Structure 1
């Protein structure tokens, strides 16, 4: 089935902005539900409302598409296309008002990402990408910088806050922090798009889900960020991204301890 990828990107971007504005408007009245997989895996009624807004509109536009969504409002499809939705990546930041969060929507054809949108509501920044068509921030083309050496590099770190992954992340930070310029802990999608924008020089994510990284990874790749994991292909278990000049040193260090 042919698909107008630019039209898909524009629809997804519009939905991400609508969801982001809802999140800003309802932040003072949100209700936090029971934890999901572990005590730090929190969800609010705003997560749920945002996902329903996005999924319902995608279903209306392309009813034959599958939808994989974090809070469970997706379903199967027959078209061979799949939307991957994280309605609020960084819920803990959102609830506690301690950092940024984003709305993430990606479109896959089979196993290949074709369209990506990551929207950061507070900054009103929309990062987008179309497979083979480059990456943009608010309509301006993104191109990754060459990147500094590791000892001056700013590296983003993302990880699921369950006990096992926190222990794993602690080992990585123990070895990384003394030899890099500095680190920042940021949600996974923003970690990747900040790489694309040159705000971070390198980044790593541990034990994520597909909806955490699907959109951000395509934006990063289309901007020229080098991505990998244990090997050339990145995975939800380990995602490493870097500017080209930084890739070898960062990947070697992270793979050795992660």
Structure 2
């Protein structure tokens, strides 16, 4: 079944912006629920309301599509198309007011990502992409610049905050810090989107879920970021990204540290 990918991207951007406005409006009155997988895996009533807003909008437009959504509003489909939704990537930042978060929506045809949106509500920035059509920031094309030498690079770091992954991340960061210019810890989607915009020279994400990285990965790749993992393809276990000139050195460093 054919799909107008530009129209799909534009609707996803509209829904992501609407969810972002809801998040800003309700930040002072949010209620935090019980942790999910572990003590640091928090969720708020705003996460749930945001996801419902997005899924309702997608379902109205394409009722036969499947939805895979973090907070439980997913459903099977009949068209071969699947929407992957993280309504609020960076909930801990959102709740604690200590950093950025984003709204993430990706569209897959089978196993292939075809369109993506990552919206940062505070800055009012919408990163987006259509497969084969490049990446945009608020409508302006993105193209990754050549990276600096490893020793002056700025690297984004994302990881699940469970005990096992924090221990793993500690080993990788211990190897990274003496070799790079500096690091920044960010939610996974913005890590990838900021690489697409050239704000970060590279990055890594450990033990994510598909909804954490699906949208950001397509945007990064369409902007020219090189992506991989332990092997040529990235996975939710390990995602490495870098500007082309930085990729060989950064990938080797991370793979060696995470062996």
User: For the superposition of Structure 1 and Structure 2, which TM-score range results when normalised by the shorter chain?
Assistant: over 0.9
Deviation by residue 1:185-241 (Cα, 9 ceiling, x = unmatched): 000000000000000001000000000000000000000000000111000000000
The two structures have a TM-score, normalised by structure 2, of 0.99
Per-residue deviation, 1:257: 1.6
SS in 2 for 1:33: coil
1:234 and 1:173 map into 2 onto residues whose CA distance is: 19
> 2:82: which partner in 1?
82
Aligned counterparts of 2:23 and 2:8: Cα–Cα separation in 1: 23
What is the CA–CA distance in structure 2 between the aligned matches of 1:197 and 1:248, rounded to whole Å?
20
Count of aligned pairs between the two proteins:
258
Q: Which residue of 2 aligns with 1:191?
A: 191
Q: Does 1:106 align with 2:106?
A: yes
What pairs with 1:165-244 in structure 2 (closer than 5 Å)?
165-244=165-244
Superposed CA offset, 1:86-122 (max 9, x none): 0000000000000000000000000000000000000
Give the equivalent residue in structure 1 for 2:145.
145
Give distance in 1, aligned partners of 2:71 and 2:232: 30
d(CA) in 1 for partners of 2:15 and 2:232?
32
Distance 2:149 2:112 in 1: 32
| Deviation of the 1:138 alpha carbon | 0.2
TM-score (norm 1): 1.00
| Structure 2 equivalent of residue 248 of structure 1 | 248
Which aligned segments of 4 or more residues in structure 1 are displaced greater than 6 angstroms? Answer: none
RMSD: 0.3
| SS state at 2:194 partner | helix
Q: Secondary structure at the match of 2:245?
A: helix
